[in-house]
Amino acid sequence: MEIRYQIVRMLSDGRFHSGEALAAAFGVSRAAIWKQIGHIREQLGLDLFAVRGRGYRLAQPLELLEKELIFSSIPKESRRLLSKLEIHHRITSTNSYLMELGAKGVDSGCVSLAEQQHAGRGRRGRQWISPYGSNIYLSILWRYALAPADLTGLSLAVGIGVMRSLEALGVRGVGLKWPNDLLCGDRKLAGLLLEVTGEQTGPSCVVLGLGFNTLLTETQGADIDQPWTDLAHVPGGRDIPRNELVAVLLGNLLEVMAGFEREGLAPFKAEWQRHDLYHGKAVVLQMGTRRIEGIHSGIDSSGALLLEENGEVKVYHGGEVSLRPL
Ligand code: BTN
């Protein structure tokens, strides 16, 4: 592990550590520690205090991701679906990384997590804000015998995997927005990005990416172009350890991904409709420059959006839904 990450691990308790103690712990000079502190501030974006005579301290303690802890906390029956678990400190994007591994033939069930993404991607070409040591940036690669066209419902099914995890952890007040956003009080808590490659008639390879805000400061969230929230501000979410959340999410998401191959969206549809925050509401569907107004009438068996326009129900496969302003 690079020295800067070892220093961060030592400082993650939120207490003061003297330059001398850090230098002795890692067998380097105090000047070398000072240089690394600069990298930690600039590259990792962590807020650090340096106080003469006391040393260095992080503004907030961090709960860093622990591979062994996560692995052993995944329920045994779901753990068998995991082929590999990797945790990166800093990566471009866990989705981009797994897409590359997918092209090289890595097995189904490969999971990649990161403490920080410096080119995190959201849907519709957005960036995904991914500061170091908070939130969850998680990707899972799964291989299907199915054709890419048969996987459209998967993007909704995985939302159920996240909802089940939150329910199991006692989190309240979160629902789904088509196709796969998780909102609390109309603010985005988490989003899913599915990227599919494959032959026209199958097989296919899917990389599922989950970005889940656990703790974001106002400064970190300043560039997000939609209302957002984090788990610390959601009922029942404040004290959930990050490692536990990851383990519960992985258990549920792996089960959903494996189950979709056998049964498709059908076993998840009723549950999806129950969590659908906009069902029956007046919405706007933005498709490129096209703006369609209607009443959100649920989803069909492929996961497409049903919109009632002047008494007629139409089916839409893409676009961005928002509530129609009064
Ligand atoms: C959305 O726009 O709602 C989807 C956001 C998906 C973000 C996650 S973070 C982990 C994975 N890696 C990425 O670059 N994107 C996804």
Per residue in 130-178, pLDDT (tens digit) is 999 999 999 999 999 999 999 999 999 999 999 999 999 999 999 999 9
Q: Extract the tokens encoding 58.
A: 């992080």
Q: Is 314 a catalytic residue?
A: no
| pTM score, whole prediction | 0.96
Average pLDDT (197-219) is 96
Reported as a single tens digit per residue, the pLDDT across 7-40 is 999 999 999 999 999 999 999 999 999 999 999 9
- Is residue 326 over pLDDT 80? no
For a pLDDT cut of 70, what percent of the chain falls above it?
Answer: 100
Residue 16 Cα, ligand 1 centroid: separation in angstroms?
A: 34
pLDDT tens digits along 246-303 = 999 999 999 999 999 999 999 999 999 999 999 999 999 999 999 999 999 999 999 9
Given 30, 35, 90, 123, which residue is catalytic?
A: 123
- Among protein residues, the one whose CA lies closest to atom 8 of ligand 1: 211
* Type of residue numbered 190: A
Active site residue 41: no
Taking the CA of residue 181 as reference, the ligand 1 atom at the shortest distance is 3
**Closest ligand 1 atom to 210 CA:** 8
What is the mean predicted confidence (pLDDT) over 117-134? 96
Which residue's alpha carbon is at the smallest distance from atom 16 of ligand 1?
Answer: 209
Cβ(128) – ligand 1 distance below 6 Å: yes
